[in-house]
């Protein structure tokens, strides 16, 4: 069973997404947007360490290996962890649009259980844009990039400015992030988005 709840269907005057001219090339690894991110950061010991690559158009692919720390039931991935992997993959689409966006709504279908040690092969694309609203979908497969579908999601992301983070984040974490030249460089790349 699957469905789409209110808020995830683009309005009639939504437009097709446009890949930013300076978007990373198809196949390019996107890297982490923040080293302490639970989804993609290298400095999070129990994080997902999800690795995303740019795809064609406004799409990405990503891989995530389910570790023992990600269990919900014995030997099986926790559903919230899988939702995080889908959320992170959808979030990585920001690199293709070169604009910062946060998750407003995320709807997940769990189709098959995902055992520990499984690699989840994810793909995601933006389907439509309406003002600040970005509509997207993601799929996670097991057994290979063309294997059976285990999870699916639809997302609604909302474009924000950098001050969304500086106004709302804990001051010590913002200060630490802003003293890291790599984070500043990555954040600036998004700020110059026309
Ligand atoms: C200093 C360090 C900076 C570090 C960051 C740097 C770089 C980042 C770069 C790249 C990112 C790359 C990868 C990202 C990777 C991972 C992604 C993980 C993503 C997340 O995990 S992120 C955390 C969870 N996320 C939140 O923490 C959001 C909390 N939330 C809010 O902060 C507000 O809620 C907000 C801002 C969403 C909206 O607030 P707002 O006041 O700005 O706007 P408003 O409410 O007017 O909404 C505008 C239009 O969106 C519609 N709308 C809004 N929400 C809706 C909903 N839920 N359902 C249906 N429609 C919705 C309205 O109906 C309206 O629609 P309309 O225009 O048609 O009327």
> For 113-143, what is each residue's pLDDT tens digit?
999 999 999 999 999 999 999 999 999 999 9
3 within domain boundaries: no
ipTM of this model? 0.94
72 within domain boundaries: yes
Q: Report in angstroms the alpha-carbon separations of 185 from 25, 29, 84, 88.
A: 18, 17, 25, 20
6 within domain boundaries: no
Domains contained in the chain, number: 1
69-109, pLDDT tens digit by residue? 999 999 999 999 999 999 999 999 999 999 999 999 999 99
Pocket around ligand 1 at a 6 A CB cut-off: 7, 33-34, 39, 87-88, 91-92, 94, 100, 102-105, 131-133, 156, 158, 160, 162, 165-166, 174, 177-178, 186-187, 190
Which of 95, 158, 162, 183 gets mutated to test ligand 1 (max ligand atoms within 8 A of its CB)?
Answer: 158
Question: The domain spanning residue 117 has which CATH number?
Answer: 3.10.129.10
Give 109-153 as a DSSP string. Answer: EE-S--BTTPEEEEEEEEEEEETTEEEEEEEEEESSTTS-EEEEE
Sign of the CA dihedral with 57 first, then 193, 64, and 134 last: negative
Cα distance between residue 144 and residue 20, in whole Å? 29
Cα distance between residue 91 and residue 129, in whole Å? 14
Q: Report in angstroms the alpha-carbon separations of 91 from 73, 134, 157, 179.
A: 27, 10, 8, 23
Residue 79 lies in domain = 51-191
């Amino acid at each position: 069973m699957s469905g789409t709840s209110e808020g995830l269907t683009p309005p009639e005057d939504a437009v097709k997404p446009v890949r930013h001219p300076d978007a990373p090339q198809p196949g390019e690894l996107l890297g982490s947007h923040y080293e302490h991110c639970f989804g993609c950061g290298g400095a999070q010991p129990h994080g997902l360490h999800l690795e995303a690559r740019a795809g064609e158009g406004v799409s990405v692919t990503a891989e995530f290996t389910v570790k023992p720390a990600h269990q919900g039931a014995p030997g099986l991935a926790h559903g919230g962890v899988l939702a995080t992997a889908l959320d992170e993959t959808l979030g990585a689409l920001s690199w293709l649009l070169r604009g910062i966006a946060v998750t407003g709504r995320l709807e997940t279908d769990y189709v098959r259980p995902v055992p520990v040690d499984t690699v989840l092969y994810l793909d995601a694309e933006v389907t439509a844009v309406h003002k600040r609203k970005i509509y997207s979908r993601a799929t996670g497969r097991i057994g290979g990039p063309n294997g059976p579908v285990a999870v699916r999601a639809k997302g609604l992301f909302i474009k924000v400015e950098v001050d969304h983070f500086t106004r709302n984040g804990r001051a010590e974490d913002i200060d630490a992030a802003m003293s890291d030249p790599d984070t500043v460089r990555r954040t600036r790349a998004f700020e110059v988005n026309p």
